[in-house]
Amino acid sequence: MQAFIPFITSFLLVVGLVPLMRYVALKVSFVDRPTVRKIHAHPIPLMGGIAIYLGCLTALWLFDGFSNRFITLLTGGTALLIIGLVDDWYKTQGREFPVWPRLLVYIAASAVPIWQGIQIEGISKVGGSGMYIFPVGLSVLATMAWVFGIMNMINFIDGVDGLASGIVTISAGTLLVAALLVGEEGSAVMAAIVVGASLAFLLFNFYPARIFMGDAGAVFLGYVLAVLAIDGTLKQATFVSIAVPVLAMGVPILDTVIVFGRRLLSGKGLHRADKLHTHHTLMKWGLSQTQTVSFLYLIGALFSLLSIIIVLTST
């Protein structure tokens, strides 16, 4: 019950906001137009990220107040939403937004959790006899690398209808269960809110999608997941605390490793968009969008189940 009310609140907020954002996007032609690299055949409204952002932040404020979690998402998340919307607007014009402004905002947003005391603090010693506390510099670097990596990974997999929103639902659901099992009440509330928001958006985003979250929504959701993982399990990096979020986000992490490996082997820039992602490969093998997404949901669910088993066996 503790997590259900935040869940249903964010769910209803996003369900109510998405049709409004879709209407506005169509009115102002803020739409994702088909290109050679993209698989949709018709322009799709591209302002779903605003609905996700408003749903998550409103619900978190209602149930967590002005906590360090809320301030982190309000500050870093707002910056990411704005730069994401600018990037999405460039796409509506058939243009590419320069990478450097995005990179600078991503780096700055990755540092915001540290300002609020949400960071990876150390790692357990061999044999479990105490903790090795990271020096300040290493703690900052580890935290920023995790946040920067996860928010980009969620953005990378947002290439098929319903994939990113579905994987985020599974990942946040896993972190919700883990938080409840270990008694992290604040993290459980935040996780429930993310599950509600992403699941609500999935209703409109599953094939055939009626709206996209865009870079604004994908990067924001990745940011929320990364912060949630640190706040809930990664503060002290024991085997369990590392394994749970890594497995919970196994699909985007594995996809990124595969794609970066292929790009390095082919001599392409790591940031260049292409069709080397796992979902593209599965569709080349003959799977439909629905089959591709369902298969990756299954993989994500298996990773998540394994992470929950690890938590249960360690408590």
Residue type, 157: I
How confident is the model at residue 183, as a pLDDT? 83
Closest of 90, 93, 61 to residue 78, by C-alpha? 61
Residue 230 per-residue DSSP state:
I
Would you state the pLDDT for residue 274? 54
pLDDT at 145: 93
Q: What is the pLDDT of residue 279?
A: 64
CB atoms within 10 A of CB 111: 15
β pairing state of 236-237 and 122-124: parallel
Q: What is the pLDDT of residue 40?
A: 54
User: What's the gap between Cα 200 and its chain centre?
Assistant: 15
Q: Which tokens sit at 180?
A: 């409840």
Tokens of 248: 């919970």
Per-position pLDDT tens, the chain of length 315: 678 999 999 999 999 999 999 999 999 999 987 665 555 557 899 999 999 999 999 999 999 999 999 999 999 999 999 999 999 999 898 888 999 999 999 999 999 999 999 998 876 544 455 567 788 999 999 999 999 999 988 998 888 899 999 999 999 999 898 888 888 889 999 999 999 999 999 999 998 999 999 999 999 999 999 999 888 766 544 445 556 667 767 677 777 777 766 666 666 654 555 565 676 677 778 788 899 899 889 888 888 888 888 878 866
Amino acid 62: pLDDT: 97
The answer to whether the peptide bond before residue 208 is cis (omega within 30 degrees of 0) is yes
pTM here?
A: 0.88
- 206: Cα within 13 Å, side-chain hemisphere: 13
Q: How many distinct structural domains can be found in the chain?
A: 1
- CA atoms of 244 and 42, how far apart (whole Å): 39
Give the range of the structural domain holding residue 100, as residue numbers without chain letter.
Answer: 4-314
Q: Are 171 and 249 in contact (CB under 8 A)?
A: yes
Strands of the chain, DSSP E: 31-32, 44-45, 122-124, 131-133, 236-237
What's the confidence (pLDDT) of residue 115?
Answer: 95
CA-wise closest residue to 56 among 222, 195, 158, 185: 195
